[in-house]
Amino acid sequence: NTLAIIDTGTTLIVLDSTTLSSIVKQMNGLVQYNSRDGFYETPCSSTLPDVTFTLGGVDFAFTAEDYLIPVDTTETVSFQAYSAGSQQDSTWIMGDVFIAKYYTVFDVGNSRVGFA
């Protein structure tokens, strides 16, 4: 029961640290945290698993090609953690990485967001 914000002003997908840790564990040691830059990264030749987010009961799948950003000889994982207090109070921010994959319509008049 996590709230998700669809935000055109955020580049990455920002998650609570518990969720991000769970995703990183599924990558079987193929990603390393770069403390200097504050991101997880992997060598360009790595094969990483798909990651699926469920919003409103609908699955939104991302392949490694969708969530990796090439930088020199490595690729940056486009998921980042922030501290949101307790896990129950966490909010995901689905930024440009999400919007680039799934066409997004902001229906302000009806207070809803749609995806295709």
CA atoms 23, 29, 30, 36: torsion sign: positive
3-class SS of residue 97: helix
Domains, the chain, with CATH or none: 3-111 (2.40.70.10)
* This model's pTM is above 0.95: no
Q: How far is CA 39 from CA 49, 54, 56, 76, in A?
A: 18, 23, 28, 7
- The pair of structure tokens assigned to 93 is 């921010």
- Bridge partners of 62? 51
- pLDDT tens for the chain, 116 residues: list them: 688 999 999 999 999 888 899 999 999 889 999 988 889 999 988 899 999 999 989 999 999 999 999 988 899 999 998 755 555 457 899 999 999 999 999 999 999 999 98
